[in-house]
Amino acid sequence: MQIAARNNLLWIATRHSSNTVQANRLFELYKNGKLQVVTSHTKIQDDFNSTRSLPMVEFPKNRIFTEVENDTKVGNWRKPITKYYRLGISLLKFYRDGIQNTYAVYRDSRRFLKGFGSQNYKDAIPSMLRIIESQELQLKRNVLTNNTNDLAFKRADLVEMMRRNEIYKLPNFFIICLVFEELTAVLCYFFPQVAPRNCMTPGGYFKISNKKIEQFKKLTREVITDSEQYLPPYALSNSQIYGIIKNSEMPISRGKLYLRNMFNIKDKLIQDLTIWYQYIYIDDWYLVTTLLKGKELRLDRSELVNCIYERKLYQKGENLNEMMLSKEGTDTLVRRLIDYWSYRFGNTIIIDGKLTFNEKWGITNLKSMLPENTLTIGR
């Protein structure tokens, strides 16, 4: 299935041949080790990764059971119960660390926001966007070179700013952990939305991602057609904007989002969707320009899974964390992300083109964020 999914990504070759060349160039950088997907925390660049704010990639059951099975100090009659006891203890530590890290992300991102003179991400994102647009214009005027990247922020700060609102789940989740202890994992499997993102196990993550991609693809079939080259947020209905935001990771409470849709507060919905569009653009721009500078870009596997998840570059039934555990699956996900980047940035000045991003797509063109490949992957 993975091979078939990867082959279906050749939609670019028939529609955007120049983008294919650029995608192949980026994939060569991956094959040559310039883009690395790492699993060892000692190899991760703090500038790009925030693993403390992301879900678990690999459930520890097999590792713990194997350790107990090979432990000669544990009698055979005790091994079955010891396996589950150690698994329970491991999960409690995972939840404890997740709770602590959720608070740390909130605290550290608050300092970061103050550096931008902002109270929240809605104020900071436009400021970051202006920095990038200024660099694009200078690149076009040959004032800068593509090897220049003088941004006033790190990617880790950017993504943690967008993940900081998970702190509002802490009070209820803390009580759940106290009451249910080792059984918290079972509860979170059936109701994964109660846990902060960094307390989510692969099973719970799969349930959420599977549900969201089904709703998202159904919605995008309604709003995207081949004839529409420019698709601004205001061209969508309230329910369509609501659906896109609901199935994204936009840090907004579901209650507030529901009320805005129910009371037809379209300007607020448009603002929310625009901010999410700008965030994904900034994140993509940061990663692509870093890769093209020829430096090594080391992404933790949880960050790669999150990139695929946020951009909806997967199909219903695909377990992204499970795919990440094999070389073939990792290559498939990297190729999808690279093809997506070439679709967005092909023929722009950051990939050997002559146009700025807005010159290619127009201002806040959702077509660049919701490309046709979100409908064709895996068919």
Q: Per-residue pLDDT averaged across 332-336, rounded?
A: 95
For residue 156, the tally of other CB atoms under 10 A from its CB is: 23
Of residues 138 and 320, the one with the higher pLDDT is: 320
User: Which residues are bridge partners to 299 per DSSP?
Assistant: 37
Tens of pLDDT, residue by residue over 201-244, are 999 999 999 999 999 988 888 877 655 688 999 999 999 999 99
Q: Per-residue pLDDT averaged across 282-296, rounded?
A: 90
Using CA atoms in the order 257, 259, 265, 267, what is the torsion angle rounded to 10 degrees? -20
Spatial distance between the Cα atoms of 79 and 376, rounded to a whole number of angstroms: 47
Of residues 315 and 293, the one with the higher pLDDT is: 315
CA-nearest of 183, 243, 177 to 215 is: 243
Spatial distance between the Cα atoms of 46 and 155, rounded to a whole number of angstroms: 9
Please give the mean pLDDT across all residues of the chain: 88
Q: Is the pLDDT of residue 365 over 60?
A: yes
For residues 128-148, one letter each, b for 16 or more C-beta atoms within 10 angstroms of the residue's C-beta and e for the rest, the string is bbeebeebbeebbeeebeeee
Instruction: Look at residue 18 in the predicted model and tell me its pLDDT.
Output: 52
Instruction: Look at residue 147 in the predicted model and tell me its pLDDT.
Output: 54
Q: Per-residue pLDDT averaged across 264-292, rounded?
A: 95
Taking CA atoms, 363 is separated from 223, 242, 271, 352, in Å, by 18, 20, 13, 21
DSSP 56: -
Instruction: Look at residue 23 in the predicted model and tell me its pLDDT.
Output: 84
Using CA atoms in the order 117, 119, 121, 124, what is the torsion angle rounded to 10 degrees? -10
Instruction: Look at residue 313 in the predicted model and tell me its pLDDT.
Output: 95
Q: Is the pLDDT of residue 200 over 90?
A: yes
Task: Using the structure block, give the residue that is written with the tokens 């300092």.
Answer: 111
Tens of pLDDT, residue by residue over 350-360, are 887 889 999 99
The amino acid occupying position 136 is: E
Q: Is the pLDDT of residue 4 over 60?
A: no
Q: Count how many domains the chain has.
A: 1
Instruction: Look at residue 309 in the predicted model and tell me its pLDDT.
Output: 97
Confidence of residue 11 (pLDDT cuts 50, 70, 90): very low
Using CA atoms in the order 27, 32, 35, 41, what is the torsion angle rounded to 10 degrees? 140
Size of the chain, expressed as the number of residues it contains = 379
Instruction: Look at residue 219 in the predicted model and tell me its pLDDT.
Output: 87
* Domain around 149: 2-376
Q: Dmax of the chain from CA atoms?
A: 74
Q: Is the pLDDT of residue 372 over 70?
A: no
Spatial distance between the Cα atoms of 332 and 306, rounded to a whole number of angstroms: 14
C-alpha R_g of the chain: 21
For residue 345, the tally of other CB atoms under 10 A from its CB is: 27
The amino acid occupying position 220 is: T
Residue pair 79/69 in contact by the 8 Å Cβ criterion: yes
Residue pair 341/26 in contact by the 8 Å Cβ criterion: yes
Q: Per-residue pLDDT averaged across 72-85, rounded?
A: 95
Q: Is the pLDDT of residue 378 over 80?
A: no
Q: Which residues have C-beta within 8 Å of that of residue 172, sequence separation ≥ 6?
A: 194
DSSP 297: E
Instruction: Look at residue 229 in the predicted model and tell me its pLDDT.
Output: 80
Tens of pLDDT, residue by residue over 115-141, are 888 889 999 999 999 999 998 888 888
Instruction: Look at residue 42 in the predicted model and tell me its pLDDT.
Output: 53
DSSP reduced 3-state for 300: strand
Tens of pLDDT, residue by residue over 145-197, are 655 556 778 999 999 999 999 999 999 999 999 999 888 999 999 999 999 99
Instruction: Look at residue 22 in the predicted model and tell me its pLDDT.
Output: 80
Instruction: Look at residue 40 in the predicted model and tell me its pLDDT.
Output: 64
Tens of pLDDT, residue by residue over 32-65, are 999 999 986 555 557 899 999 999 999 999 999 9
Residue pair 333/305 in contact by the 8 Å Cβ criterion: yes
Find the DSSP H helices in the chain: 2-7, 11-15, 17-31, 61-69, 79-115, 121-140, 155-163, 170-180, 184-190, 202-223, 238-246, 254-262, 266-292, 301-311, 320-324, 327-345, 357-361, 366-369, 373-376
Q: Rounded to 5 degrees, what are φ and ψ at 66?
A: -65, -40
